[in-house]
């Protein structure tokens, strides 16, 4: 599958409304960034994925990487989701679906499960998709971060 933002592309400087306040993607320049899109909070696969990213979060941080999960859910829903499962990183609401459209992951009015691993220079280094198990995204993203 081909996404609008692909390996080698500079990430567009979009603003995200997160559970930790508003951020711009350019705020992460100088750091590695894992931007993972997920379909819907509180569903089985998305819950497993969030839990696995949370389990591995300290390893991401030790490698100089930040993690942000993105879905079309509201910020309130994402706050409840993050609190229930102890997320250690912000979740971003793409209620207007603009970020999902820009990255090319919008499918049937929700985001597809796709993970973008971005280097400190703001360039996409790896796109992870089509995995059988949702939680594999965290493990693959960690391996990708280690190679940057």
pLDDT tens figures, 63-105: 999 999 999 999 999 999 999 999 999 999 999 999 999 999 9
- Catalytic residue numbers? 46
Domain ranges of the chain: 15-146
Sheet containing 124-128: give its strands across. 21-24, 15-18, 91-93, 65-71, 32-37, 114-118, 124-128
The CATH class that applies to domain 15-146 reads alpha beta
pLDDT tier at 2 (50, 70, 90 boundaries)?
low
The partner residues of 118 in beta bridges, in order of sequence, read 33, 124
Which pTM does this prediction carry? 0.95
* Residue 1 confidence (pLDDT) above 60: no
């Amino acid at each position: 599958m081909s996404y609008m933002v692909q390996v080698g592309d500079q990430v567009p400087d979009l603003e995200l409304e997160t559970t930790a306040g508003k951020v711009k993607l350019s705020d992460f320049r100088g750091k590695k960034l894992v931007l993972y899109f997920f379909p819907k909070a509180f569903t089985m696969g998305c819950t497993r994925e969030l839990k696995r990213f949370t389990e591995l979060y300290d390893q991401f941080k030790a490698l100089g990487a930040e993690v942000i999960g993105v879905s079309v859910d509201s910020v309130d829903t994402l706050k409840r989701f993050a609190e229930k499962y102890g997320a250690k990183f912000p979740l971003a609401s793409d209620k207007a679906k603009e970020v999902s459209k820009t990255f090319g992951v919008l499918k049937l009015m929700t985001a597809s499960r796709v993970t973008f691993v971005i280097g400190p220079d703001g360039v996409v280094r790896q796109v992870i998709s089509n995995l059988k198990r949702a939680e594999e995204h965290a493990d693959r993203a960690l391996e990708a971060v280690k190679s940057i």
